[in-house]
Structure 1
Amino acid sequence: MASQLKPTMECSEAEWQARLDLAACYRIFDHLGWSESIYNHISVRVPGEDAAFLINPFGLMYSEVTASNLVKIDIDGNTLDGSTYPVNKAGFTQHAYFHQHVRSAHAICHTHTTAAMAVCASEGGLLPISFYACNFIGKIGYHDFEGITVRAEEGERLLANLDGKHILMLRNHGPVVMGRTIPEMFVQAWSLQRACEIQVATMSMGQPIHVSDAVIAVHQRDLGQAQAPGGPGVADFEAWKRRIDRIDRGWRE
């Protein structure tokens, strides 16, 4: 499919494909109700360029993001593609640190959905009370709230609390989800969101039933058997791209 795509700006074919996938991801997040006015971020490392990243223009809603208006920046947030749009420092400070120090973190998202923020603000964090939650038990780090993330020195503590995992729940704030690809990051974010929604709903009904450690281990062992062909999240992401194409193909511009 990539060979059929024609860049509308000066960039490599690999970068244009990354721009298309990232723009699609923003539109999918918006369609799912995961956007937060002009705030929050999804970023991706430019293929073949370890120190270059794509991120949303600060000031646009997710529904306005397109492949060509994504901003290409370096690890310090400096614009590399001549874009006139600014980048939100509060968002990229944490993204930059993870992109730089977690080699597998090619794609990163940070959201402020009500359910995920509620779980981040609860003392117990994510509980083993649903199918989706069992995907993540033992695979999530937690980081105490230190105020808005604009100080580079917080990066070391963020990384220490991540502790080799790929999801960091920022307490009293919201989750950061990382993946080797945009589809992998997306499907992890989708599953985590479902787990948080179910937890919020279940806790409103009384005492939840906790899944045992032994069953969680079996569940996580067997998860791969339920994966569609193409790699983690690929079938999911392509299905959602088809969905948003039926709504508005403007993200491809």
Structure 2
Amino acid sequence: MSTRESVKSQVSPEEWKQRVDLAAAYRLVALYGWDDLVFTHLTARVPGPEHHFLINPYGMTFDEITASSLVKISLDGHKVMDSPYDINPAGFTIHSCIHAAREDALCVMHTHSLNGVAVSAQKDGVLPISQQSLFVLASLAYHDYEGLALRDDEKPRLVRDLGTKNFLMLRNHGLLTVAPTVADAFLFMYVFEAACMIQVRALAGGRELIPIAQPILDGIQQAVQQVTRGLGGGIAWPGLLRKLDRRNPGYSD
């Protein structure tokens, strides 16, 4: 029996779908160039009453992750299903506290993209200079840098700073999104990254920027508040999976 069939036979159809979606998200992060070798994580809660989560096998690059290679762990970072792969418990520090505090945070994505880190180091953070930025600003929080995210005492401050938002900028560190589905968390990250890329390029142009006027900003943000919990991930996701099928098939193994 193949590894794929072995794992698939041990889990529910709902968990298998979550595995396929999360593996696809890892490969998409690599495809769009947001990965940082093996040093960030995307996690998703397994459907069902148990607080179990899926995380990447440590040391595997994002473009080679499969549904069956994802490791199922408990909220305290211990394996709850046999797997030949190790995980990075320290990498679950940020994710675990958010999953525990937010029942709607079924998927948490964290990246160290170059554009994201660049903007996270800018004092004013995300600027209202693009339509993409409006979606982010409507649900954006910030968390100050406290060193490598390894200490449990940082968890309450992470949870406090995130609050009920869907976008979190980790100062001098990177980007984080949370959502009820893998598809929405990925689309949030796509918009977050786009806003940062646009800002980096606009600032590099060396010319005076045109900020979006405050009345427009206020009006759009009121509308976006209703949209940011469902930017359309479900609409874009099938197309993204088709792109993966063309560019990097095998994620569903």
Greater CA deviation, 126-135 or 8-17?
A: 8-17
Q: Give the Cα–Cα distance (whole angstroms) in 2 for the partners of residues 126 and 105 of structure 1.
A: 22
What displacement does 1:217 show?
A: 2.6
Is the partner of 1:92 in helix, strand or coil? Answer: helix
Tell me what 1:64 maps to.
64
Is the partner of 2:8 in helix, strand or coil? Answer: coil
Q: Give the Cα–Cα distance (whole angstroms) in 2 for the partners of residues 54 and 242 of structure 1.
A: 23
Is the partner of 1:217 in helix, strand or coil? Answer: helix
Q: Give the Cα–Cα distance (whole angstroms) in 2 for the partners of residues 226 and 176 of structure 1.
A: 18
What displacement does 1:231 show?
A: 7.3
Q: Among the aligned pairs, what percent are the same residue?
A: 36
Is the partner of 2:93 in helix, strand or coil? Answer: helix
Q: Give the Cα–Cα distance (whole angstroms) in 2 for the partners of residues 114 and 214 of structure 1.
A: 32
Q: Indicate yes or no: 2:131 matched with 1:131.
A: yes
Q: Give the Cα–Cα distance (whole angstroms) in 2 for the partners of residues 51 and 25 of structure 1.
A: 21
The 3 A distance-change label for structure 1 pair 124 and 224 is closer
What displacement does 1:224 show?
A: 8.8
The 3 A distance-change label for structure 1 pair 214 and 6 is farther
Tell me what 1:165 maps to.
165
Gaps (5+ residues) in structure 2?
A: none
Tell me what 1:48 maps to.
48
Cα-to-partner distance string for 1:87-117 (whole Å, 9 max, x where unaligned): 1223200100000001110001000111011
Q: 1:89 touches 1:150 (CA, 8 Å); kept in 2?
A: no
Tell me what 1:186 maps to.
186
Q: Give the Cα–Cα distance (whole angstroms) in 2 for the partners of residues 247 and 143 of structure 1.
A: 35
Is the partner of 1:142 in helix, strand or coil? Answer: strand
Tell me what 1:94 maps to.
94
Q: Give the Cα–Cα distance (whole angstroms) in 2 for the partners of residues 191 and 77 of structure 1.
A: 29
Is the partner of 1:135 in helix, strand or coil? Answer: helix
TM-score, with structure 1 as normaliser: 0.92
Is the partner of 1:240 in helix, strand or coil? Answer: helix
Q: Give the Cα–Cα distance (whole angstroms) in 1 for the partners of residues 49 and 18 of structure 2.
A: 12
Q: Give the Cα–Cα distance (whole angstroms) in 2 for the partners of residues 220 and 239 of structure 1.
A: 27
Q: Give the Cα–Cα distance (whole angstroms) in 1 for the partners of residues 6 and 81 of structure 2.
A: 18
Cα-to-partner distance string for 1:95-147 (whole Å, 9 max, x where unaligned): 00000001110001000111011010110000001110011224211111111
Tell me what 1:152 maps to.
152
Q: Which amino acid aligns with 1:21?
A: D
Q: 1:90 touches 1:148 (CA, 8 Å); kept in 2?
A: no
TM-score, with structure 2 as normaliser: 0.92
Please, what is the CA RMSD of the aligned residues? 2.1
Q: Which amino acid aligns with 1:30?
A: A
What displacement does 1:223 show?
A: 4.8
Q: Indicate yes or no: 2:25 matched with 1:25.
A: yes
Q: 1:7 touches 1:13 (CA, 8 Å); kept in 2?
A: no
Q: Give the Cα–Cα distance (whole angstroms) in 2 for the partners of residues 62 and 213 of structure 1.
A: 40
Q: Indicate yes or no: 2:194 matched with 1:220.
A: no
Tell me what 2:8 maps to.
8
Deviant stretches of 4+, over 6 Å = 224-227
Q: Indicate yes or no: 2:213 matched with 1:207.
A: no
What displacement does 1:238 show?
A: 1.3
Greater CA deviation, 192-201 or 26-35?
A: 26-35
The 3 A distance-change label for structure 1 pair 10 and 184 is same
